[in-house]
Amino acid sequence: MGHAKDVSSLYELVSRYDESLAPRYSPRTRLAYVTDLKQFMEFLDSRGVSSIAEAGVTDVRAWLASMSDDGKSRSTLQRRTSAVKGFVSWACVRGLVPTDFTRGLRSISVSKSLPATISLKEAREVMDALASVAAEEDTAVAHRDQAMVEVLYATGARVSELCGLDLDCLDRARGLIRVLGKGDKERSIPIGQPALIAVDRWLARRGELVTSRSGRAVFIGERLGARIDPRVVRRIVHHSLLLSDTAPNLGPHGLRHAMATHLLEGGADLRSVQEVLGHSSITTTQIYTHVSSERLRAVFEQAHPRA
């Protein structure tokens, strides 16, 4: 029990661990880990455990069981298990615990749920409705909003990638856009004529919103003229999907899912979809084959005489 005498409290130890994460993790990831660990420390304190050296795997299992009873999702339990395992491993290396008591603790498996998306029919309804709104209102903002939704669906770009687009990222001659994805990896994505036409209509009106803060950003805000904020894009996508009577209320990621699903249903191979989406691993892309398979099964059961 003497291993943790130099640590005044469980919470101080979490702060030390947080500092060790700084070179490797983003502030958001660190905050998630620290929040999880503080909850674990509160649980240990409630059980009369005053130092990490006194804790054991039974404490971790009891904590996870209590959260499961409270209805926490398996993905939440998985993340919190990972947070504790990483923390205890760190503490063990520094001699703060005699052994890594989480080593034999199994990570909670999380079944990959099918991503929410929209059908091809719903996508057409939304794009046609946006085109009608832009033509009727004929404002810079309406043309901008149409162009953003068209680009998200046409390319499957992440909302951060869309917001980061600069004017020189458009390659009209080859029908491509160049985006900067996760890990600062650059990739080129085919964009298609409808989206390019919508972008050009917006760029013809972009000057109406340009300010000294616009720089080379393709999409800019209407109040300050600065690069468009991801929150604004999400709000616009939500509003746009309401233009279809049947489309679910999704954000930009829903359009990314739709693009990938519709590509596969149209005959694209998995590797091509992986490249377009910018997935580092093919296993990440494979979930879309499940979406296509589910739809194929539904069509089969509805249409085949001996289904």
DSSP assignment string, 71-138: T--HHHHHHHHHHHHHHHHHHHHTTSSSS-TTTTPPPPP---PPPP---HHHHHHHHHHHHHHHHHH-
> Active-site residue among 182, 216, 231, 297?
182
Helix (H) / strand (E) containing 282: helix 282-285
182 is known as an active-site residue: yes
Extract the tokens encoding 158. 């992440």
Q: List, in sequence order, every residue forming a beta bridge with 178; answer none if it has no partner.
A: 188
Q: Are strands 170-171 and 176-180 parallel, antiparallel or unpaired?
A: antiparallel
Q: Judge whether 158 counts as a catalytic residue.
A: yes
Q: Starting at the edge strand that comes first in sequence, how are the strands of the sheet with 170-171 ordered?
A: 170-171, 176-180, 186-190
- The candidate with the shortest Cα–Cα distance to 146, out of 207, 219, 214, is 219
| Catalytic member of 80, 144, 201, 256 | 256
256 assigned to active site: yes
Among 17, 33, 153, 288, the active-site one is 288
- Tally of CB atoms within 10 A around 131: 17
Give the number of other Cβ atoms within 10 Å of residue 138's Cβ.
11
Active-site residue identified among 80, 144, 158, 201: 158
Active site residues: 158, 182, 253, 256, 279, 288
